[in-house]
Structure 1
C-alpha cells in the first residue's frame, strides 16, 4: 500500500517491509498460524496425513493474507484542513480529512486514525469501506480545549486489513497541522480612558506631506502598494523600488503590559489569576486595535510580540491586522517568566510619547510597585488592573488585604488609574469603571470600591 500527504509515498521496496507485514498479524492470524503448526507436528508424530493437510491449510492461510496485503498496490492520498486554525479557548474547531484513492484498484477495509493531543479530546477513528478507483472520502471531527496553546495534529494513520482479518498494516502520512488555541477575549465598552490620546475613531489626526516633488518622503515598496505611486527618482537613487508616502497617519499608540513573573501569581488552571491576566491582555489589545490604535504587547521581560517595527508598534492598518494575529499567537503560548522585577519593561518604555499604557499586574511588593509607579511618567495615560493571587486561591470573594490597598495607593499617587481585580471579575465592568474614574486624586477616593461596581456617574 502507498500512502501520502499531500502526495503519495511508496515504501514497497523496504527490505524490512515483509517482516513488518508479518508483525501485523492479528490475534486471529497468529491463532491460525499456531494451530496449523501444532496440527502439523501432531500429524507427523501420529502419522495422520489428513491432519497434516489441515495443519498446512491453517498455517498457510494467514501467510497468504500477509503476502497479498503486502503486495497490494493501493495508492491513497490524504490531506487535512482546519476550520478555523485559530480558536479561542473553550471554542470548537472542526478538522476535515480528505482521502483520495489514486490507484486503479478498489481498496479493502480501511481504518483512518488521526493523532491529537489528549487535551483536545479522544483520538478520532473512522472506518472506510471499499473505495473505488479515483474515489474520494471525506470525514470530519471536532476538537476543543479549555487550555490555550499550540497543539500539533497528526500524523494521519491509515490501517489496511484483509477480508479474513488475519493481518493489519498501518501506514503513516508525513504531514501534520497546528491548532492554535488563543486566550478568551471579552468585548469591552467603547469608553475613553483617562489620559487617552486621540486616535482613529476619536478624532483622526492626519498629517499630509507638503506638496511638490521634492517634498515627498518616499518609503520602500510593500506588497499591495499601488504601482502608480512608485517614485522613480528615489528608486534610481536607492537601487530598490520606492513609493510616495503621500499621507502619514498619526495613529495613537497603546502599550498592553502583561506581568508574567512566576512569583507574582499563585495557583494554575483556566480559572487562575494568571489566566485571567492573559485573557484580559488579549481583550484589551483586540479592543484597542478595533478602535484604530497602534498596539504593541509588552511583557515584564521587556520583550514585545512580533509584528511591529523597531518600537514594537505596527506601522499601518494592514500591519495592525497582521500583528494582531501574531500577538494573539504569542499570548497562546505565553508562560511564567523567572524574572523577579519589572525593570526591563520600564527600560523599554521611553519617556514622553508612549501613548496609553494598559497594564495587568500580579502581586507587587513595595519595590516593584515603585518601578510600576515610575512607568506612569513615560506614558500619556496609564490604567492598571492589579490581581492579588492569594485572594484568587482562597474560596469566596474577600476584600483585598492591606498590602494590596497600599500598592494601589502608590500607583494612584503616581497618576495611574489603578483598580483591584477580585476573583471572577468581569473585565468589561472594570473597563467601564476605569473609564469613569480619573487618575491621581480622583481615583484615590475609589480605594474602597471593588471591581464589580460600575463607577460613579
Structure 2
C-alpha cells in the first residue's frame, strides 16, 4: 500500500500568507528581532550611530530569512509505503517514506515528520539535507502495537528552515494510509472435529451444501468433451451442440461464532478473556479456510462476514485469502456489543442446514445456556470453547467452577463438544482436546440420527 501527495513550497501576495510566514519565526529569530529593535531604540536615545547599525543588522536578518523562505518556489512530492499493511498484534511493520524534488531548484534543509497514533510509538522525525533538483531522499521507521485496530498514518508534514535557523515553515501532504492490526493467530493441528467432513468431499450426511450436484445449465461443446455428456434437448433448442457441465462440488461449511456481549466478559487489555476469544476465532477461521471450508464469521448480534455467498458463507469462487482478509479486518475493529443475548445468532443459524459450528463463548447464564443448546440442533457438529471471565480476573473459585461445570453439562447433553478455557491457555492444545473428545463422542453415537447423536 502506498500513498502519495505533492506539496508546493512557494510564496504568495496575500497578507494572510505573510502573517503565517512571520508566525514561523523560531525562538532564535524572535530573539534577534527583539534585540535589534531594542538596540535601535537605545541608539536613537543615546545618539550612538554604531549601535544603530548593529541593531538594524540584528532586526533585518530574521526578516530577510522570512522573505527568502517565503518567496522560495519549488515543489516536492511525498510517498508512503507500508510493509506490510496488515500485521498481527505485537508484530512490527515498516513505513517507507520517499521525498522527491520535482522542481528545478534545490531545496534547503528539510525536516520530515509523520503523524502516527501514540499506540504505535513516538512520532518519527527526520532531518534531510539539501535535495538537488530532480533528486530524492528515502527514510523508514517501524511501528508496533499490542492492541488490534485500524490506525491512520499521516498526513506527512514537511518543515522547511533557513540556513540560520531564524524561520520555519510547515507544509502538510493530504494523503494518508491505514495500518490494520489484526488479532494474533496460532497454527492449529489438523484434527477431526465432531460432525466435520473434508473440505471438498462428502460428509456422512449427504446434502447439496456438501456434495454438490450436476449443473443443469448446459454449455457449448468444446473440443475434447465426452460425447456421452451431450445434452440433446438443449442441442435441439439452440441449434448447436451442447453438453452438460461437470459436477460442481461445493465446499463444506463452517460457522465461527464469536460471543461479543459486554456482560459476558470482565477485564480489558491484550491479555483479557475477550481478546483471547477474538484471537481464538481468528485462528479457527484461518485454519478452516486453509482446509478448504466455506467459512463465515458470525457474532451474537447476528452479523455475518463475509456474507456474500449463499447463507452468508464465502462462495466457492471467492479466494480463501480474500475471505480471510475480510474477516480479519472485521476482527481488527470488533468490540464488545451491548446486546444481552444470543437470540440473533440463533435466528441466523436456524435455517443454516448442515455444517460445523465452532463457538467462542463468554459467561453464560441459564437463559443463554439454553439458547446455545438450541443452536446445536441446527448444526451438523458443534464445538464450544467456553471462557469463565471471572477466573481470568479474580482466579477460579469453587462456586464458579461448579456453575461452569453445570453449564458445560447442559451443553454436552444438547450435543456440543465443550472445552473449558483456562486463563492463558493455548488454543492449539485445546483444539487437539476438542478433536479427541469429538472423535470419541462421534464414534459413540454413530447410530444416531444423521450420524450425529448427543453427548452424555
Q: TM-score range by the shorter chain?
A: 0.7 to 0.9
Once the two structures are superposed, the pairs formed by residues 27-426 of structure 1 within 5 Å of their partners are 27-200=27-200, 205=211, 207-209=213-215, 212-213=218-219, 247-306=247-306, 308-309=308-309, 311-351=311-351, 353-395=353-395, 401-426=401-426
Show the counterpart of 1:228.
none
Aligned CA distance change for structure 1 residues 306 and 251 (closer, same or farther; 3 Å): closer
Q: Deviations over 1:58-77 (max 9, x none)?
A: 10110000000000112110
Distance in 2 between residues matched to 1:12 and 1:99, nearest whole Å: 20
Kept in 1, the 8 Å contact 2:215–2:246? The answer is: yes
Tell me the CA shift for residue 206 of structure 1.
5.2
Aligned partner of 2:453 in structure 1 is none
Aligned-residue CA RMSD in angstroms? Answer: 2.6
- CA distance 1:211–1:23, shift in 2 (3 Å): closer
Find the residue that maps to 1:140 and give its secondary structure: strand
Q: Which residue of 1 aligns with 2:452?
A: none
Identify which range, 316-325 or 380-389, moves more after superposition. Answer: 316-325
Partner of 1:6 in structure 2?
5
Distance in 2 separating the partners of 1:417 and 1:333: 29
How many residue pairs match? The answer is 415
Q: CA deviation at 1:330?
A: 0.2
Relative to 1, partners in 2 of residues 1:27 and 1:339: Cα closer, same or farther, differing over 3 Å?
A: same
TM-score (norm 2): 0.86
Deviations 1:1-29 (CA, angstroms, capped at 9, x unpaired): xxx94334467447211111101101110
Q: Which moved more, 1:372-381 or 1:433-442?
A: 433-442
User: 1:305–1:211: structure 2 CA closer, same or farther, 3 Å change rule?
Assistant: closer
- Offset of residue 270 of structure 1: 0.4
Cα distance change, pair 153–260 in 1 and its aligned pair in 2 (3 A):
same
Per the TM alignment, residue 314 of structure 1 is displaced from its structure 2 partner at its CA by: 1.4
Unaligned runs of 5+ in 1: 216-232, 238-243, 445-457
Q: Where does residue 225 of structure 1 map in the other structure?
A: none
Does the Cα contact within 8 Å between 1:199 and 1:292 map onto a contact in 2? yes
Q: Find the aligned partners of 1:42 and 1:424 in 2 and give their Cα distance.
A: 75
Further displaced range: 10-19 or 416-425: 10-19
Q: 1:135 to 1:18 in 2, by over 3 A?
A: same
| TM-score of the superposed pair, with normalisation by structure 1 | 0.85
1: distance between equivalents of 2:343 and 2:71? 67
Task: Evaluate the alpha carbon distance shift between residue 347 and residue 197 of structure 1 in structure 2; reply closer, same or farther with a 3 A threshold.
Answer: same
Q: Provide, for residues 102-159 of structure 1, a one-character-per-residue CA deviation record: whole Å limited to 9, x for no partner.
A: 1111111111000000110111111110111000111000101010000000000111
Q: Is the 8 A contact 2:76 2:100 kept in 1?
A: yes
